[in-house]
Structure 1
C-alpha cells in the first residue's frame, strides 16, 4: 500500500492532468490505483456512485484508474458562491457556507475527514496518487493546511513538485518554493518535473540542471505540452477555449460569473459540425448564432443580474425573434422562467428576481439539494439517456406540460410550444452519442462519427504514452511509500 503526491509550484500548472496520466500509467502496469485530492475548489462537480459530489478532475482521474468516482477521492470540496464565500462539501455533503476568512478556522476540523477518506482508499488499493491544491509556496496559508504539506506530513506521503514553464519564471518558481518552505515541509519534496514545455526540450538543459543542483531534488524530466489536453473534460472555466471547432452550426455559451457544471459543453466542442464559442463579459451575442446555451450557475439570481448587466437579456430576445434556439441547463433553466424566488436567502440575500420570461415557469429555492444520477427518456427522440442532477430549487409552471424529458414517467424540464426554448435540470446528456446526434439533427446538424467516451479513453491512453516517453514514470512510482 503506497502513495505519491503531486504538488505544484503554482496554480494551474497541470497537476490534475499529470495525476490522470500517472493513474492510467499505473493501471496499465496492472496496479489497483486510485486518485485523491484532499481539498479542491471548483463549481464543476461530479455526482459519485455513492450519492455525493466531488471535483470533476477527480472523476476524470477515477476514469483513468478504471473506477467509479466515490466521495473519498475528494473529501473536501469548496464551491464558490460569491467573491468572499463558498459552500463547503465534506465527503460528498454540504455542511456549511462560509466566508474565506472563516474557512481558515474550519480547516483543522476537516483534517480528520481527509485522513479518514485517504485511509480507506489506501487500504483498498495498491497505489494512491494524490493531487495538491494551489501551491505549498503560499506559506501564509500553511497553518491548518489540509491540501498540501499539511496533508503530506500528516499522511507521510512523498511529494514531487511540478512547475509550469509555459508561464515563464519556472526556475524561480521551483527554487523559490524550496526557499520559503519550512525545512520539515521542504524535506517532503523528493523530486521535481517541468510541465508544458514548447519547442526543443534540450534548450532547457542548463535550467533543469540548475534546479537540481540548487534544490538537491531528483529530476524526473521535462514534459512537452500535451496538445490533446482539450479533448479531456475541463475542470476550470478558465480552461475552456474561447472558440472550438469550425462547423457551420454556431453555438454560443454564456460564460456566467458563477458558471457551474459546464461539462455539458465538452462533447459539443468536439462535434465537427459545431462551432462552440464561450461568450465572455461585455461581448454581444452574435446575430448569426443558431443556439444559445445558458449553463449552470452557483448563484442563479446573482448571475441573472450579471447576465442583464452584459445586455444579454436584450440579445436573447433578439435571438429568439430571429428564430434562434435557447437551451437552459440547471441554473440556466431556472433563469428561463418568469421569476426566481429565494425566500430563505439560501443563495444570497432573501428576495426574488425576475427571470428572462422565455418559459412560463417559476422557481423557488429550497434548502434541500437534489444530488443524483438520473435515467430519463427524451420524448422528441424516444431515446433513453443518462445524466445527473445537482441543484437546489424547485421549478414548476404551465410550460412543464411540454417536458424536455421524462423521469420515471414524470415530466422533467420544459420546452416552449414552438420547440425553440428548452430547459432541463439534467447535466451530462451530450456525452451520449445517440442523444447528442439526435438533438443536433433536430436542429439541422448532420450526424457525425464522434464517439465521445471512446475519445476520452483514447486520449487518456495517449496522455499516459506521452508521459512515459518524456518522464521517468517508473522512478516516480519507486518513490511512493
Structure 2
C-alpha cells in the first residue's frame, strides 16, 4: 500500500476472544508506520476495566493506547468511542467518546448500543480524515449471531462503514479449521462476503506442516490465506491486556504479591515490574492465601472498590495483609487499593451500589468519600524521597483525606499526593503508571532488597513493537493485506 489522498480502512476480526486481534493490529500499525504510512487504530466497542487516559481528557481501552503508540500517535478518544467497564456480572459503566454516559445492565445495553452507532461513525470518520490507513479491531467474534441485531463491534460496524474484513483464527487453542470454516458457515451471506482473507495466528512448530489445513480452509470458505503468524515469544514484554497474561511472564527472586480482585482495573502498573528479571509478580487467585515471603503486597485499582473489598475479606486476605505488615512487609495501594487501605469508604450517592459506608482495612489513617465527578487526567511529578521523576494518570471517583496524607510521598503538578503510615511500610496513591519511571522503579526495588536491572522500560516496549512488526512482515503477506483496505466513505 502506498500513500494516498483518500483514507482507507481494513478491519481485523477474530474467531473468538483472545485470538490475538489486539496484538495483530498493534504489529500491523507499526509495520505500516515503518512503511511511511499515516496510520491510526480504531476499535468501535471495547469491554475492559484496563483503561488509558488520553491527551483530550477521556478514557479508552489500554489495548488501543498501545496500538496508538505502535502507530506513532498519542491516544485519542476517537480511537475507542465506546468503552464498557464492567462493575458487576450483569452491568457496566458505558463510556462514550471518552466520558461516562450511563451505567447499564447487560439486558438494557442491547437496546442502547444501536443508538451509539452514529457516535461511533462520527469518531471513525474524524479519525480517518487526512490519514492513509485506519486499522479497525473487532470484539469477540462475528459468529455470535445472537448479538448481530444492533451490533456496533463487528459486522454491524463493518456494514455501516463498508469496511472489508480479515478474519484471524487462533491455532494455539486447537480447532482452527473449525473456527474459520464454522464462522463462514454460520454467518449470513452478506456478512460472509465482507471477509476477504484470513490469518492463522499463534502457530507453534513448522508452519509448512499446515499447508493442507490452509487449502482446506480456502476450499470451504473461498477466502484467501494471508499466511501463518508463528507464536510471538516476546509478547510478554508488551503491556498486558488481561491480568491473566501476567501469570505467564518469567520471574525472579523478589516476590510482589497482587490479589486478583474481581473488578481489578488499570493493572498496567504491574507491567514494568513484571518485566524486571529479578522480580516475580505473583497474581494471587481466589482461594489461595497471600504468600508469607512477599517483599511487597500491591493492591491494584478496582472498578468497584467496596465490592472488591468485601471479596478481599471473604478470601481472608485482610488477615494475611495484617500479618504481612506485622512481619515488616511493605504494602502499596493504588487507586481503589489505596481507598481500601483507609479506615472508611463512604458512598453516600450510591455510585457503586446501594448508598453505604464501610470499614476499610485500617492500615492507613485516611478516609474516602465517593463523589459523582470522576477525575480523569494525566499527571507528572517526582518521588519526594529520591527526587526520581514520575508520570502517569489518575482515573477515579472519590476524595481521600486524613492524617496520613500529611506524609504524602509524591509531588504531582506542584501538589502533594498520596499517604503513608508513620513507619513507612504502608503507602497509597491515586497515580497509575509510576513504575514506568526507570529511576523510581529502581529506587523502589532497591529499597525492597533487590536492585533493578539497568533497564529502559519505554525503550524496550518500542523495540518490542518493532520486533512484532518485523515478525508479521516476515510471515504474512502484508503487501496483499494492506491492498485489501477500502476507501472510508464520507
* Mapped pair 1:233 → 2:265: no
Does structure 2 conserve the Cα–Cα contact (< 8 Å) formed by 1:243 and 1:278?
A: no
Instruction: Flag structure 1 segments of 5+ consecutive residues without an equivalent.
Output: none
Which string of whole-angstrom CA distances, capped at 9 and with x for unpartnered residues, describes residues 168-219 of structure 1?
1111110111111111111100000110111111221111110011100010
Partner of 1:305: 310
Task: For 1:295 and 1:364, locate their aligned partners in 2 and report how far apart those are by CA, in whole Å.
Answer: 19
Task: Give the SS at the match of 1:34.
Answer: strand
Superposition pairs of residues 9-48 of structure 1, within 5 angstroms: 9-48=15-54
- State which of 446, 460, 469 in structure 2 corresponds to 1:464: 469
* Structure 1 residue 272: Cα displacement: 1.9
Partner of 2:330: 325
Superposition pairs of residues 115-126 of structure 1, within 5 angstroms: 115-126=121-132
* Structure 1 residue 244: Cα displacement: 3.8
Task: Give the SS at the match of 1:239.
Answer: helix
Partner of 2:381: 376
Partner of 2:201: 195
- State which of 123, 137, 146 in structure 1 corresponds to 2:143: 137
- State which of 241, 249, 255 in structure 2 corresponds to 1:250: 255
* Structure 1 residue 127: Cα displacement: 0.3
Task: For 2:359 and 2:333, locate their aligned partners in 1 and report how far apart those are by CA, in whole Å.
Answer: 16
Task: For 2:93 and 2:108, locate their aligned partners in 1 and report how far apart those are by CA, in whole Å.
Answer: 12
* Mapped pair 1:167 → 2:173: yes
CA shift in 2, pair 1:244/1:299, >3 Å: farther
Count, aligned residues: 480
Task: For 1:445 and 1:372, locate their aligned partners in 2 and report how far apart those are by CA, in whole Å.
Answer: 32
Task: For 2:430 and 2:161, locate their aligned partners in 1 and report how far apart those are by CA, in whole Å.
Answer: 39
* Mapped pair 1:436 → 2:441: yes
Superposition pairs of residues 273-288 of structure 1, within 5 angstroms: 273-288=278-293
Partner of 2:339: 334
Does structure 2 conserve the Cα–Cα contact (< 8 Å) formed by 1:244 and 1:276?
A: no
* Structure 1 residue 157: Cα displacement: 0.8
Which deviates the most, 163-172 or 27-36? 163-172
* Structure 1 residue 441: Cα displacement: 1.8
* Structure 1 residue 360: Cα displacement: 0.3
Task: For 1:404 and 1:479, locate their aligned partners in 2 and report how far apart those are by CA, in whole Å.
Answer: 53
Does structure 2 conserve the Cα–Cα contact (< 8 Å) formed by 1:52 and 1:92?
A: yes
Which deviates the most, 465-474 or 35-44? 465-474
Task: For 1:411 and 1:468, locate their aligned partners in 2 and report how far apart those are by CA, in whole Å.
Answer: 47
Which string of whole-angstrom CA distances, capped at 9 and with x for unpartnered residues, describes residues 226-280 of structure 1?
111110001122322266412x221111111100000000000011221211111
Task: Give the SS at the match of 2:126.
Answer: helix
Task: For 1:202 and 1:429, locate their aligned partners in 2 and report how far apart those are by CA, in whole Å.
Answer: 45
Q: TM-score, normalised by structure 1?
A: 0.98
CA shift in 2, pair 1:454/1:243, >3 Å: closer
- State which of 97, 116, 139 in structure 2 corresponds to 1:110: 116
Runs of 4+ in 1 over 4 A off after TM superposition: none
- State which of 50, 71, 74 in structure 1 corresponds to 2:77: 71
Task: Give the SS at the match of 1:125.
Answer: coil
Which deviates the most, 431-440 or 405-414? 405-414
Task: Give the SS at the match of 1:275.
Answer: strand
CA shift in 2, pair 1:244/1:348, >3 Å: farther
Partner of 1:403: 408
Does structure 1 conserve the Cα–Cα contact (< 8 Å) formed by 2:41 and 2:64?
A: yes
- State which of 134, 146, 155 in structure 2 corresponds to 1:149: 155
Task: For 1:222 and 1:107, locate their aligned partners in 2 and report how far apart those are by CA, in whole Å.
Answer: 35
Task: Give the SS at the match of 1:447.
Answer: coil
Task: For 1:80 and 1:239, locate their aligned partners in 2 and report how far apart those are by CA, in whole Å.
Answer: 19
- State which of 408, 414, 420 in structure 1 corresponds to 2:419: 414
Task: For 1:110 and 1:362, locate their aligned partners in 2 and report how far apart those are by CA, in whole Å.
Answer: 38
Instruction: Flag structure 2 segments of 5+ consecutive residues without an equivalent.
Output: 1-6
Task: Give the SS at the match of 1:43.
Answer: coil
Cα RMSD after superposing both structures: 1.0
Does structure 1 conserve the Cα–Cα contact (< 8 Å) formed by 2:257 and 2:290?
A: yes
* Mapped pair 1:293 → 2:298: yes
Task: Give the SS at the match of 1:3.
Answer: strand
